[in-house]
Amino acid sequence: MRLRDRVAIITGAAGGIGRAAALRFALEGAKVAVADLKEEAGQKVADQILSQEGEAIAVGVNVADRSSVDAMILHVLAAWGQIDILVNNAGILRDARLVKMTEEEFDSVIAVNMKGVFNCTQAVAPHMMDRGYGRIVNTSSVVAIYGNFGQTNYIASKSAVIGMTKVWARELGPKGITVNAVAPGFIETEMTAGMPEKIVETMKAKIPLGRMGHPEDIANAYLWLASDEASYVNGIVLSVDGGVTT
């Protein structure tokens, strides 16, 4: 088991990629804090892990609210006494063209996707520094690399995640903490399920592998970066996109 006795916080873990990561980490021996704004849905994921003889707790959190994040950290420390891994997976979409995007649509995406990553990382870093060990995995996006129509706010936030990842890799590396990012491509999740079929087919046509990714594809990337197999990997952006950015 690659994560035996490790304690992992995974944000946005009630569904989609986060849920897949929580289940995968638990199978590899991690104690998993299933952190999500949707606490009931998060509890179902935690219950599934427990039913498979894993260890998990559900924690309600609004990553955009620092007091909520601080409460989450205290909850996890009270339960297990340490935090080894943070996966900043939580994110939202509020798509609109530049000329039609509202201030609320812009601010809400920045608050969750960018400030939320800052909040969680800043809150957990001192605990990892004290122990001289940590694995932080941030979620960016393939569109942060090449852009996408109607996603000014989303791409601004995901580009910022790449920048913060590289800064923190330099700042925290000397303390025994690696910080890396994963840039998912087009993944089949609740976010994409409501897209018109025509748009989905257009997306697939851009992917050399000819299919959209599965949440497990991203979960596996998170797992590797969180494991000791990637102990000398720091400050990278790992694209998991079927070759879109090739």
Count of beta carbons in the 10 Å neighbourhood of residue 195: 13
Mean pLDDT of 195-199: 75
Q: Using alpha carbons, select from 110, 143, 122, 116 the residue that is nearest to residue 241.
A: 143
User: In the predicted model, what is the mean pLDDT of residues 187-207?
Assistant: 80
Domain 7-185+217-240: assigned CATH number = 3.40.50.720
- Calculated CA dihedral for residues 209, 214, 217, 219, nearest 10 degrees: 160
**Given 146, 154, 222, 232, the catalytic residue:** 154
Domain ranges in the chain are 7-185+217-240
Residue 55's DSSP bridge partners are 31
pLDDT tens digits, one per residue of 61-111: 999 999 999 999 999 999 999 999 999 999 999 999 999 999 999 999 999
Burial category of 231 from C-beta neighbours within 10 Å (exposed 0-12, middle 13-18, buried 19 and up): exposed
Angle between helices 116-131 and 66-80 (to 10 degrees): 30
Q: Dump pLDDT digits (tens) for 166-189.
A: 999 999 999 999 999 999 999 998
Q: Are 67 and 43 in contact (CB under 8 A)?
A: no
Contacts of 195 (CB under 8 A, 6+ apart): none
Structure tokens, 149: 């129509």
Active-site residue flag, 232: no
Tokens 């994040």 label which residue? 69
